[in-house]
Amino acid sequence: MDKLRLIAVVEVVLEQKQGDNWTQLNTGVTNEQGRIPALYPAGKKLEQGTYRVTFETGDWFKKHDTDTFFPEVPVIFSADASVEHYHIPLLLSPYGFSTYRGN
């Protein structure tokens, strides 16, 4: 069985839906733990709305000499702005993924 690997050095893009369009708010790169400590723009208050976080996974798989069906994984979610922090883990394999709202 393969070891579980943290997905480090993956570019992530955060966008907010405005009308029929998406506006890019920020980008980041996952650290050694596979996390980005703060992706929402610093100094900006979280607004209620629809957001998309896109994990650019294709380069990570290519770097690890692994074929994948998912060159990127977009996750669209609604934020009610009742909390300041949303944790959105991505569990990933070359041919499947899962995500959820974490704490």
pTM, entire model: 0.90
Higher-pLDDT residue of 6 and 96 is 96
Could you read off the pLDDT of 18-32 as tens digits, one per residue?
999 999 999 999 999
Return the amino acid letter for 98: S
Q: Which residues contact 2 (CB under 8 A, 6 or more apart)?
A: none
pLDDT band of residue 4 (cuts 50, 70, 90) is: low
* pLDDT of 3 above 70: no
Is the Cα dihedral 17, 54, 82, 84 positive or negative?
negative
Class of domain 11-99: mainly beta
Q: Is the pLDDT of residue 84 over 50?
A: yes
Owner of token pair 């029929």: 20
User: Biggest alpha carbon distance in the chain?
Assistant: 46
Strands in 21-89 per DSSP E: 21-29, 49-56, 73-79
Contacts of 52 (CB under 8 A, 6+ apart): 13, 14, 15, 16, 17, 22, 74, 75, 76, 77
Query: pLDDT tens digits, residue range 34-81?
Result: 899 999 999 999 999 999 999 999 999 999 999 999 999 999 999 998
pLDDT the model gives residue 103: 77
For residue 48, what are its two tokens?
Answer: 């209620």
> What pLDDT does residue 85 have?
85
